[in-house]
């Protein structure tokens, strides 16, 4: 029983990995993800099917999001650097104030 | 008799009226005294800010002055490096001013006004992040201040510290939605001192953790270091237009906003404190801020704070001082206008009247005392001198000014900027058509660059610059690196491979002059062809390939970068063989 369950998990993981690879290949601005594959071992349990489908959908959405938001990363890097210009002033204000605990004004 | 009385009454009336008018005038004078500007005690200091952008592979240094009081502050940027080439920042940083007081947040620039503005308080919410591909509006810096204020922890929020222990406190301000404060604080104390503070959200997730280290002094313990950990956090990003369509299982959905990760991998920030004497008394103040990637391996940015002093100053005077410090004065403005007028022109094209003006400016800036100047002001001065030398074609002077530029960077511990800024100035000299001087500057640059940087930093810089197609300076830099006696086999391979790639690309460039498009490539090809032929470059490349392949074969476990270089070498090898056939 344990072996069977482990086999099913491996099967499921393998399918999920294949699914994610496909997503990575297909994704651009418009993203098409194949329908989630249902594990035959859990097909008899409707709750398990729904949950597995949902997990696959979530994983697919996460992967699609990673691809679609890649262009924001260099700008987020720039935001951190720009915001850092205020850090010396804000940190010094914290240090000078008796009423504020000095933490760090995270940029 | 009645006449006398009436005259007396009239006089009395006039007297009373006079007294009344005088009294009103005196009172009104008292009610509106001449305005006396209110002076605030402020801490003033200078900062050298180093900014790395690993994704864009850039390195920028800003030189700024700060004035700080508990209720207000001001920042003025006096200089930014590298100057001769491109600088990765949303706006030309020189003359950028930011001022914050209880009424408003202000941004001002002398020449570029796209981000200028007065933002009254409340500043408002940042909203979804809408910038992509390295663009960013500088004016959004105002939200950084708001974010920091939201995370403030008041001394009253923590209350009196327990002598020793670890305990949780519910943060009283967290219910106020507009402030978005941390919901819970986890406090660790020892000997009545705060040793660690963890800021948690409503679900117990970590927002920020701060460890405090102290040093024991005669008058008690003083803060020595803060180690701050910032975990990854979600951030909402918004697309311009309708946003991407994502299809899952045949269901199409369009997303105008998505969630991504900010501070990917986390951040580790270290703030160093020391006792600093200011006008007769000592204060424990931060003097160095370093932000690392979460694993602590890579420095992302840093700030060195120095020149601390205290001043009593009115807000009007503060503005005047900040603008005088950071804005171009009339002579610098003339120099800027001349540079725009004679950009990359032959010195013989400069009008006689302008030659006189430029000579006067040259003498003015050369004689200017540097005794009281900050590092940024000195670099600003020497860069103006370089510009004047380029315009006037004063090459021996250019060599002297370039050496001063290099030594200024070295004396301010900016060895990495020697690589970036020095290369830009050398390439700029070649673009002005001064090839002999460019060669001479190149030798100076190579000596300083290699002596001030470790081999790995030089190789990383070279790798990035080969991608940016700066081939000739990198070929020469790799020549210099390969002369170093203590190179590992791995470093030798990378240096040999990068030199080979540079040589091969340059020979291709010289073979196909019609394909040369960019200004940099035109200048580079002209500079190289002045001293080498395409065939001689190819011959050198062939020799490098043989040597590099031998070195690669000896590497026990080549890294992914080394494997990528090997692939490029194979392609070059094939191309050269094809050309020979």
**CB interface of B with A, residues 400-459, below 8 Å:** none
Residue B481 is predicted with a pLDDT of 97
B285:A68 CB<8 A: no
B167 lies in the same domain as B291: yes
What are the strands, taking DSSP E only, across B124-243? Answer: 153-154, 165-170, 184-190, 193-200, 206-217, 220-230, 233-238
Same domain, A48 and A62: yes
| pLDDT exceeds cutoff 80 at B335 | yes
My answer on whether A66 and A105 are in the same domain is: no
Judge if A56 and A87 occupy the same domain: no
Asked if A98 and A63 sit in the same domain, the reply is: no
Q: Is the pLDDT of residue B516 over 80?
A: yes
Residues B401 and B506 in one domain: no
- HSE of B149, CA atoms in CB hemisphere, 13 A: 17
Is B64 near chain A, with CB under 8 Å? yes
**Which structural domain, as residue segments, surrounds residue A100?**
76-107
Average pLDDT in chain B: 91
What number of other Cβ atoms are within 10 A of residue B287's Cβ?
Answer: 18
Enumerate the residues of chain A whose CB falls inside 8 A of the CB of residue B66.
88-89, 92
How much is the pLDDT for B529?
94
**Does residue A58 share a domain with residue A28?**
yes
Same domain (yes/no): A18, A66: yes
Same domain for B138 and B221, yes or no, is no
Which residue among B124, B147, B170 closes a domain?
Answer: B147
Q: How confident is the model at residue A27 (pLDDT cuts 50, 70, 90)?
A: very low
Q: Burial, B169: exposed, middle or buried (Cβ in 10 Å; 0-12, 13-18, 19+)?
A: middle
How far is the C-alpha of A78 from the C-alpha of B62, rounded, in Å? 14
Lowest mean pLDDT among A7-11, B75-79, B202-206: A7-11
Min Cα–Cα distance to chain A from B70, Å? 5
> CA B440, CA A21: separation in Å to the nearest integer?
53
B518 and A CB contact within 8 Å: no
Q: B355 in a domain, yes or no? A: yes
Higher-pLDDT residue of B32, B520: B520
Query: Which of A28, A30, A31, A79 to substitute to test the interface with B, most B CBs within 10 Å?
Result: A79
**Residue A12 C-alpha, separation from nearest chain B C-alpha, in angstroms:** 17
Q: How far is CA B569 from CA A4, B82, B524, B557, B574, in A?
A: 50, 31, 22, 18, 9
Q: Is residue B27 part of a domain?
A: no
CA angle A16, A22, A26 (to 5 degrees): 145
Interface of B with A in 84-113 (CB under 8 A): 88-90, 98, 100
Q: How many CB atoms lie within 10 A of CB B479?
A: 13
Residues A27 and A50 in one domain: yes
- Asked whether residue B445 is domain-assigned, the answer is no
**Residues B269 and A104: beta-carbon distance below 8 Å:** yes
Mean pLDDT of B569-579: 90
CA pair distance B499, B545, nearest whole angstrom: 10
pLDDT tens-digit map of B366-414: 999 999 999 999 999 999 999 999 999 999 999 999 999 999 999 999 9
B412 and B341 share one domain: yes
| Domain containing residue B229 | 152-299
B163 and B105 co-located in one domain: no
**Predicted pLDDT of residue A5:** 41
> With bands split at pLDDT 50, 70 and 90, how would you rate the model's confidence at A56?
confident
**What would the two tokens of residue B280 be?**
């007769």
Contact B120, B85 (CB under 8 A): no
- Domain identity same for B117 and B60: yes
For residues A92 and A64, membership in a common domain is answered with: no
Which member of A35, A79, A104 has the closest CB to residue B250?
A35
Residue (of B327, B519, B560, B357) closest to B431 by Cα position: B519
For residues B109 and B225, state if they share a domain.
Answer: no
**What are the tens digits of pLDDT across the range B472-481?**
999 999 999 9
> What is the domain count for chain A?
2
- B167 in the same domain as B130: no
Say whether pLDDT at A18 is over 50: no
Contact yes or no for B230 and A97 at CB 8 A: no
Please check whether residues B112 and B170 belong to one and the same domain.
Answer: no
CA proximity to A95, closest of B289, B313, B70, B225:
B70
Instruction: Please tell me whether residues B156 and B294 are part of one structural domain.
Output: yes
Does A65 share its domain with A92? no
Quick one: A87 and A38 in the same domain?
no
Q: Are residues A11 and A46 in the same domain?
A: yes
**ipTM of model:** 0.90
Same structural domain for residues B159 and B134?
no
Domain count, chain B: 4
Question: What does pTM read for this prediction?
Answer: 0.86
Average pLDDT over residues B144-173: 88
Closest CA relative to residue B469, chosen from B539, B522, B547: B522
Give the mean pLDDT of A14-40.
Answer: 45
Same domain, A107 and A64: no
């Amino acid at each position: 029983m344990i072996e069977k369950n482990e086999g099913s998990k491996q099967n499921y993981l393998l399918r999920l990995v294949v699914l994610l690879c496909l997503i990575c290949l297909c994704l651009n601005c418009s993203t098409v993800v194949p329908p989630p594959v249902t594990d035959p071992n859990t097909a008899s349990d409707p709750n398990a099917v729904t949950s597995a489908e949902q997990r696959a959908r979530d994983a697919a959405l996460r992967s699609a999001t990673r691809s679609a938001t890649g262009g924001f990363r260099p700008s987020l890097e720039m935001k951190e650097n720009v915001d850092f210009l205020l850090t010396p002033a804000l940190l010094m204000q914290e240090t000078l104030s008796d009423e504020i605990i000095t933490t760090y004004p995270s940029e | 008799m009645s006449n006398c009385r009436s005259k007396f009454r009239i006089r009395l009336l006039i007297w009373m009226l006079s007294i009344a008018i005088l009294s009103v005038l005196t009172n009104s004078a008292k009610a509106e005294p001449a305005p006396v500007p209110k002076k605030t005690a402020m801490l003033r200091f200078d900062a050298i800010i180093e900014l790395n952008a690993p994704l864009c592979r850039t390195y920028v240094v800003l030189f700024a002055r700060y004035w700080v009081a508990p209720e207000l502050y001001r920042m003025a940027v006096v200089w930014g490096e590298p100057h001769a080439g491109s600088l990765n920042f949303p706006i030309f940083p020189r003359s950028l001013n930011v001022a914050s007081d209880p009424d408003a947040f202000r941004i001002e620039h002398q020449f570029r006004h796209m981000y200028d503005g007065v933002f009254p308080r409340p500043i408002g919410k940042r909203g979804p992040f809408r910038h992509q591909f390295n663009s960013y509006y500088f004016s959004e810096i105002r939200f950084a201040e708001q974010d920091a204020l939201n995370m403030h922890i008041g001394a009253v929020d923590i209350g009196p510290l327990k002598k020793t222990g670890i305990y949780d406190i519910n943060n009283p301000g967290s219910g106020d939605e507009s402030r978005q404060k941390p919901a819970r604080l986890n406090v660790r104390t020892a000997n009545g001192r705060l040793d660690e503070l963890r800021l948690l959200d409503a679900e117990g997730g970590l927002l920020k953790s701060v460890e405090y280290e102290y040093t024991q002094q005669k008058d008690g313990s003083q803060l020595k270091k803060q180690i701050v950990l910032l975990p990854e956090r979600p951030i909402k990003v918004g697309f311009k237009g309708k946003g991407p369509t994502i299809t899952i299982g045949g269901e199409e959905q369009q997303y105008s906003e998505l969630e991504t990760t900010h501070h990917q991998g986390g951040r580790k920030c270290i703030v160093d404190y020391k006792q600093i004497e200011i006008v007769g008394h000592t204060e424990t103040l931060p003097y160095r801020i370093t932000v690392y990637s979460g694993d602590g391996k890579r420095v992302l940015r840093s700030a060195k704070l120095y020149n601390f002093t205290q001043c009593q100053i009115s807000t009007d005077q503060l503005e005047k001082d900040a603008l005088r410090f950071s804005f171009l004065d009339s002579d610098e403005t003339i120099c800027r206008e001349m540079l725009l007028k004679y950009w990359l022109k032959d010195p013989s094209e400069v009008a006689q009247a302008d030659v006189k003006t430029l000579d006067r400016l040259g003498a003015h800036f050369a004689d200017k005392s540097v005794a009281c100047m900050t590092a940024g002001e000195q670099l600003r001065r020497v860069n103006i001198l370089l510009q004047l030398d380029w315009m006037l074609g004063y090459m021996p002077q250019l060599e002297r000014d370039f050496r001063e530029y290099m030594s200024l960077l070295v004396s301010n511990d900016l060895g990495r900027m020697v690589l970036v800024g020095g290369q830009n100035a050398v390439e700029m000299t070649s673009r002005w058509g001064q090839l002999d001087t460019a060669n001479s500057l190149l030798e100076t640059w190579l000596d300083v660059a290699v002596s001030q940087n470790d081999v790995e930093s030089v190789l990383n810089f070279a790798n990035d610059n080969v991608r940016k197609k700066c081939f000739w300076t990198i070929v020469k830099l790799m020549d210099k690196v390969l002369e170093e006696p203590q190179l590992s086999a791995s470093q030798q391979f990378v240096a040999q491979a990068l030199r080979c790639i540079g040589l091969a690309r340059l020979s291709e460039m010289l073979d196909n002059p019609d394909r040369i498009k960019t200004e940099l490539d035109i200048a580079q090809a002209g500079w190289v062809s002045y001293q080498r032929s395409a065939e001689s470059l190819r011959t050198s490349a062939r020799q490098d390939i043989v040597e590099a392949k031998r070195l690669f074969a000896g590497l026990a476990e080549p890294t992914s970068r080394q494997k990528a270089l090997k692939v490029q070498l194979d392609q070059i090898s094939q191309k050269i063989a094809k050309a020979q056939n």
